[in-house]
A = this chain, B = another copy of it.
Amino acid sequence: MEKALHMKRIELGVCYYPEHWPEELWEDDFKRMKDLGFSIIRMAEFAWTIFEPEEGRFSFDFFDSAINLAHQHGLKVVLGTPTATPPAWLTHRYPEVLNVSQAGTPYQHGMRRHYNYNSPVYRELSARITRKMAEHYKDHPAVIGWQIDNELNCEINVFYSEADHQAFRTWLQQKYGTLDQLNQAWGAVFWNQTYTDWEQVHLTRPTVSDSPNPHQALDEKRFISDSAISFAALQAEILRETAPNQWVTTNGLFGHLDSHKMTDELLDFFAYDSYPNFSTIYPDKGDKPLLDRKWSWNLSAVRSISPTFAVFEQQSGPGGWVNRMEQPAPKPGQMRLWTYQSIAHGADMVLYFRWRTANIGTEIYWHGINDYHNKPNRRVEEARKIGKELNSIGERLAESRYKAQAAIVRDYDNEWDGELDHWHGPLTQESTMAWVKAFQYQHIPADALYIRPDMKAEELLKYKLLVYPHAAILTQGTAALLSEYVQKGGRLILGARTGYKNEHGHCNMAPFPGPVSEICGVSVEDFTRVGPYEEAPGIRLEGSEGGRISAGQFNEVLKAESGQAEILAVYEGSYFSGKPALVKNPYGEGFAYYYGGVFNLQLAEELLKESGLSKPVDWVKVPETVELAVREHQNGSTFVFLLNFDHSPQEIKVEKEAKNLLNGKIVSGSMTMNPFDVLILE
């Protein structure tokens, strides 16, 4: 079942914490929200002790007042279940609910997300508070839906409490049945790790040199994901059963969690929290960094879960904690730019984080729209402008969908295995960013495509081009899927390190690139990393004027195995100079490209040219700095988003008469976009 968000109009809203402020302020706050064009508020997700001040005693008065007042002012409410922050009475009485570091240090009360998913008592108490809240609010006319917990796997995404070790053992018993199977899957014969009793089996524990068994480490991440999903499922089932008329979702996209599986199994749609100003402190590396525009790629991943979705936290001010991640203020216009970035990529509901900056706690520098002082400021004015615009166009845009021609292929197994494994994970990160940039700068709208169980080739054939950069783990099933895609006319681009591992992370006893050798028409004759003090060799594309391209930090020397295979580039500047580096193989009605190196922007752009893709709208000319995105409606309407991420004005050209939805004006010919400005052309 497709997990899209279905809205009649794009709605704006805001996160609100009535418990942080004197009750006298609420009414004025709600009035001002309406005035700005907001219609939805999220609340209650960190308020367990207010609902249950002592174990088993429940109280709804406080939030009843807040919700009723919001309702009186015409606001709708999303309620968070409060399980992200267990009460002090709970962690003090049941310390076994705490998450614990690998070395055994419990994480204590005072921050958030310090619990584990597998403690029976925590599951029981979480189920009870969820049920109590659902029973109380299931028929409230203002309450439209539920957010389970808050940002599962944020802050920390590893868990080593005793409950987790035990649950892992059960999970493994279900997965493998016997210890023999487990020992096989974990390659336990290596270094005498063979287990002879289930009691000997644990999640990874502290080891000399901090080098865990890599197969165990991969299963650990799968288990953590399943644990989070199981914890969410406990709440989702209660909510569905108790409050069948309110929707259920959760927010955030974090590590060690298969958000696709969770959404498919449990949620109505997926919600994301978007903070593009992290780019000011952790910019992406390499040539021409994307900075806040990288969030367009993050939103592509979100869209692969829910084609239309909600943003539950849209950054609306300077961000950062008291003691880390300090970010500047968004520049005037950026808050609006990021809102339309979310919308262009499929968001049909956007809630700002947050109404007013917290004046207590560790979040006093994650600024909201309003400052501590609650006086007018430029961010409030910027919100007012967006509210006004969406009031006018929100209905037309809603339910239209982002339209892509190509996709970067991903999967959770390689993501998780590649965290520990420095011999493929970092290559994927590097190549992915190169391709994201190439698509962005060439204005080719692209999706993220996650390989899922039981996937059909049809889902792949929606795309003219697929790039799956370094899929170390590549099962026969996935190989068959890719093979069918190419045979039926698709173009598939693969890179070094493809296909040398099985689903356990064992290395296959087969020539590289394993199960896709035949599709690609190549085998790997020799290979090497480039040492940290060595210069990487280059490649040169036949017939291209692009010059030398660095082959990156891993090089496979290829050998064409098919008579039709065409060598597009050879290495230069190493002991394998002159040997094939990039091979194109016709296969069925399509083509497979195999590259022995790591992709960079330069090569990705060359290969885009080679693939023949062009931008979807031929009547606008925009520079690299302006993102072009397209949302299409089933009814045929097409909305062309132009987003200027640059800090300076940009020249664009519209080669026909088009309407800018945002102000209703007709535009045509050359024009200047202001810094951070947005156009939506129709």
Contacts and interface: CB of A to CB of B under 8 A. Distances in A.
Contacts of A53: 196
Interface string A254-292: 000000000000000000000000001101000000000
Q: Which of A113, A193, A280, A378 has the most CB of B within 10 A?
A: A193
A359 B506 contact: yes
A443 B432 CA distance: 50
A442 interface: no
A653 interface: no
Given A208-B155, A529-B327, A357 B507 contact: yes
Nearest to A331: B575
Interface string A87-110: 111001000000101011111111
A280 B532 contact: yes
B192 A85 contact: yes
A665 interface: no
A213 B54 CA distance: 22
Contacts of A86: 192
A660 interface: no
Contacts of A453: none
A240 interface: no
Interface string A507-545: 111111000000000000111111111100000000000
Contacts of A331: 575
A221 B110 CA distance: 17
B207 A110 contact: yes
Given A508-B372, A512-B373, A528-B318, A213 B361 contact: yes
Interface stretch (A42-50, A610-618, A638-646): A42-50
Contact of A196 (B88, B189, B196, B199): B88
Nearest to A502: B359
A513 to B, nearest CB: 11
Interface stretch (A31-39, A362-370, A385-393, A457-465): A362-370
Interface in A138-197: 155-156, 187, 189-197
A208 B360 contact: no
B190 A500 contact: no
B111 A207 contact: yes
Interface string A193-235: 1111101101011111111111110000000000000000000
29 contacts: A49-B194, A82-B192, A88-B197, A99-B208, A107-B206, A108-B206, A109-B193, A111-B191, A111-B211, A111-B212, A114-B207, A187-B359, A209-B324, A213-B362, A214-B361, A283-B533, A322-B421, A322-B423, A324-B422, A327-B529, A328-B528, A328-B529, A328-B530, A328-B534, A357-B507, A358-B507, A359-B508, A372-B500, A373-B510
Given A46-B191, A329-B527, A360-B507, 19 more contacts: A20-B190, A50-B189, A86-B192, A87-B196, A103-B105, A104-B105, A108-B206, A110-B204, A110-B205, A112-B191, A112-B192, A155-B208, A187-B361, A190-B360, A191-B361, A211-B324, A214-B361, A215-B361, A359-B508
The 5 closest A-B pairs by CB, nearest first: A187-B360, A190-B361, A329-B528, A111-B207, A108-B205
